[in-house]
Amino acid sequence: MKHVKLYEEFVNEAKFNTGYHAAPGKIMGSIKKHGLNPKLSKYYSSDEIYFFTKEDEAIWYANQMAHYDGYEPFYIIQVDLKGIDLKKDYGLNSTDDEGADSAYYTSTPISPDRLKVTSYRTER
């Protein structure tokens, strides 16, 4: 049983140097000041921070989220993930392929010095 648990942890955890996070414009002031920390924002509904390993998937997610409750502009933030433990998120992919290694999350707050805005979604 111990080996099964260790295998599950190995399969569900990953390390990447760079990830991409989609964030709504209305919380960018807080992100620039405090970094990514869902406990400091009423916008997030969980204690996890979600990332994609591919920037185009973060853009896809931003386009999806921008249309909830009216139009909301989104930023794509490149995140330095060195040393951050990530867990695989099988439910947050742009395709139905559960084997896609693109969506991950962490509960670790990310400081502002590890963040860089790479793009801004302005189109409807």
Q: State which residues form the domain around 56.
A: 2-121
What is this structure's pTM? 0.77
Q: Give 52-97 pLDDT, tens digit per residue.
A: 998 888 888 888 887 775 667 889 999 999 999 888 887 765 555 5
Other Cβ atoms less than 10 A from the Cβ of 98: the count is 9
Q: Give 13-35 pLDDT, tens digit per residue.
A: 455 789 999 998 888 888 999 99
Structural domains counted in the chain:
1
